[in-house]
Amino acid sequence: MRPSLFRGWRNKCPRCGQGHLLKGYLKVADSCAVCKLDYSHHRADDGPAYLTILIVGHLMAPLLHIVFVAWRPEPLVLFSIFAVGCVGLSLYLLPRLKGAIVGFHWARGMGGFAQTG
């Protein structure tokens, strides 16, 4: 399962690790161009968004508290820096977590994926 999660994180096919998993930013391709694994029945749904919110919230909230207590920056400066940080981290994590979830589903034979090795 670990290789398929890592391949999905890298936007690669969970089976062969060579073809692209996503076409565009979040759209999952219909199938792998290399090994022809069918992705059309994947069910990532809202899982990547929930995980992104969970990770970004748990990273940024303590960091926000630490920065506020240590340096007491102006509220607008604090908001501006952390807003950009939250958006940037969310945009980085979302497609990677979607790929990892599709890889997890493939490795476990969930969501319509037949266990094909």
111, 108, 84, 117: which is closest to 1 by C-alpha?
108
100, 92, 89, 95: which is closest to 25 by C-alpha?
95
pLDDT of residue 115: 54
Residue carrying the six token digits 């090795």: 117
- Quick one: pLDDT band at residue 114, thresholds 50, 70, 90? confident
Percent of the chain predicted with pLDDT > 70: 97
Distance CA 85, CA 32 (A): 33
Q: Read off the tokens for 83.
A: 């807003």
> pLDDT tens-digit profile of 58-92?
999 999 999 999 999 999 999 999 999 999 999 99
